[in-house]
Structure 1
Amino acid sequence: MKHSLRIGRIAGIPILIHWTFLLLLGFIIYSQVLRGSSTAATLAAVGFVLVLFACVVLHELGHALTAKHFGFVTRKITLLPIGGIASLEQLPDSPRQELLVALAGPAVNVLIALGLYPFVSGAAFAVPDIGRLTTAQDFVSALFQLNLTLALFNLLPAFPMDGGRVLRALLSFWLDRLRATRFAAGLGKLMALAFVFFGLLSNPFLVLIGLFVYFGAHAEALSVEFNELLRDYTVRNAMMTNFLTLAPTDNVQAAADKLLAGSDQDLLVVDAERVVGVMPRQLILEALREKRQSAAVTEVMKRDFETVQVGDKLSQVFANAMQQSNAFYPVLENNRLQGIIDLNNLTEFVAIRAALSA
């Protein structure tokens, strides 16, 4: 996810925090100032939010480590103001595996709550006010209740919450994955509209949750639609074989001329069928602004770039490309250039397959 700051790594998984999370902390501090709270109360409220989000990280690690048990890799965990996201490279196709991965997160929150229960006060099930955590017992009681709330909320049968994945996994024992996803996503959208409706009447925060659920359900449905359309294809089926290249001896002006000569936005620098660099449009323009027209492309080109193989699954390449702002991959076979693939021709391939399947 864009505009996220990496704050650490746990079990080999990068932990990122989205910049909007800082808005949440700012809102907590602002609310405490408006209430006239003391510095100690304000720090306690901020500390509570940080501890609560540590529980969110553990929740996402529950998903990630269970997925790892089944052989699936988690690229990162990102913290947002309304929770966290564990970005798996690939979701399990097996309903049983998806069910266990989905349940692992809420199970972590339940275990945390059980661990805290012996230390909570008698008012553990009252609505917590994080602005008035006057004692350690108040702190523990609020943390206990909110972990239970996280577990129950995440089990609502709506994407992108865990309950939506649980529902899809259960339906997938009888239906194909696409139909199960459509049903779960449709239910998620209905639930999202209910959140928005009641939020407009009572609590604006519910509107935010409703919008998050609605677009999350929509994105999940699209993702599975795309995966189904691309399931039986490899990179070879979608790669472009008609593209422009540069030689290591070419200069920046030659690269600019080739930009004008075709529709390519990224050019490859190729030496004896081997890709040695990439010249994105932005690098060419920057070099021109610096009056480096005569500089060799090897002085400007990007040497660190991703590649894919002709036999790679197209669904996986598409999923990776969707995570990048300008996905562009040289396609190799036995280390020799065979073609290129980018997000534009991936989406074109998806559109063609959708039209043919319709």
Structure 2
Amino acid sequence: MSATIDRYQLGELLYADQDIVAYRAHDALLKRNVTLELLRSERSADAAAGGQLLEKARQSALIDLPHVAALYDQGTHEGRPYLVLEGASGPSLRECAPLPPERAIDMAAALAATIETAQRNGQRLPALTAETIRLDDEGNLQILNLGLRPPLDANAALSVLADLLALALGDAPLRHAPALDALLERLRSGALTSVARLRAELGELRQRAAVPTTVVTGAAPTVPLDAEPTVVVARPASGKLAPRRRMLLAGLLLIGAVGLGTALWQRQAGTPPGDQATPALTPTGAAAGASPGAAAGLRLVVATATGQALVVRSGPGTHFPRITSLPNGTAVEVLEGPQPGGRYTWVRIRANGIEGWCVREALREP
């Protein structure tokens, strides 16, 4: 086979299966990078296979599957049908794995959406493999395959998703994400019976990922400013507290007593308790005498009463992904807001060249 097919200059091999081989390619006419899928030479005499590949192209032109690379062109080279798709947007899943838990959840949810749409429309599903799934730097997913696979039934689809999620997470124990680990085990064991149910549980996990759970140990945990931690004190089965746990419980009682004393002192001093940080992580730091409202262009500084970093998110709410965190004293420029979101008031800011949303009450005038 030559290094050129019609107007497409072939590059490196991207993936291959029993039906097709796919290459990076360049469209010499339109000056853009593409992916070219070519029917294997040993299948070129199979008229049914060639017809299926072209029929798949016609289906794709009528009904777009989410996250599947767009179809640009089709043709035949030396009796072998080929399809031209958009170029690869990033490295393959095999090259990216293991992924952080939140990114693995997003990947599995995107794949589940693709499978559900294909099943609903009776479409042939793209080949979902570690090579055909691509992930860019922004976490976006792309499937570089139209394939000849028949529609998957529920059990087969869940089995494919289990294998891909396991690959994305790697072989290391997920001590930092036990809920995701438990979901994967249920998926592998067949406890989940539909792709729709898997999507729902992945969505719940993604929301919970933005609100961490704090387990009380001997050291003070670090949690985002806009999170609402759940404090868990474990008890032995006998109902009696071990010496270490008795000490922890005593420490919690002491913290509560100090918080109550501080609140009483603030009330006597004429400062409302709600203006200061509490163990429940109520956001504070608004400028004295200033309203939480903020006009665009206002310049403020991060000032959390607890001294912890201020979380900046991609949208006005704790369910939006975390972008960065800013230490106390960081200068920020308000771009938009204020806007309510959950139990907080949010503003969009710019700091150190990064834009995002943060809790307004954690900012004050310099």
TM-score under structure 2 length normalisation: 0.24
Larger Rg: 2
TM-score normalised by length of structure 1: 0.25
Q: Which has the higher strand share?
A: 2
More helix by share: 1
